[in-house]
Structure 1
Amino acid sequence: MFEKLKNMIKGHEDTARSGVEKAGDMVDEKTGGKYASQVDTAQQRINEQLGTHQEPPAPQ
């Protein structure tokens, strides 16, 4: 199933990366940042698995 998803994303890496970031931001917002460290780790691992690894933006 994951391979099928990877094939669907191929060529749309920027869109996938953006979606992962937005989802993480939403979780952080809903939890008040309580799980920010875990969310950041999950975002990084997802991007690595998708082959779209990019350094996360610096916290503001």
Structure 2
Amino acid sequence: MGLDDIVNKGKDLFEQNKEKVSDALNSEQAESISDKVLDGASGLAKKVLPDSADEKIDEVRENIDKSIGNE
């Protein structure tokens, strides 16, 4: 089984379970997990990057957060 076979199998599984995946991404559990991950990533970015980037980091975090979970 080559890489292309694995990718195609993954695509097939996704297509077969698209509704379940969508439900999972819009769940309360996904919201909780994504908030923790996004808070950690944005916190790290704010420590590493200059303070002038804080506003942009918050904007990016907010845009990503809108796409995952139910809030």
Q: Is TM > 0.5 for Structure 1 vs Structure 2?
A: yes
Instruction: Give the TM-score category using the shorter length.
Output: 0.5 to 0.7
**Structure 2 unaligned spans of 5+:** 1-17
Alignment check: 8 A CA contact 1:24 1:39 kept: yes
In structure 1, what residue type is equivalent to 2:49? T
| TM-score of the superposed pair, with normalisation by structure 1 | 0.62
User: What is the root-mean-square deviation of aligned Cα atoms in Å?
Assistant: 2.1
Percent identity over the alignment is: 12
Q: Which residue of 1 aligns with 2:48?
A: 30
Considering only CA atoms, is the larger Rg found in Structure 1 or Structure 2? 2
How many Å apart are 1:26 and its aligned residue? 0.5
Aligned-residue offset at 1:25: 0.8
State how far apart, in whole Å, the 1-side matches of 2:51 and 2:38 are: 16
Task: Extract unaligned runs of 5+ from structure 1.
Answer: 54-60
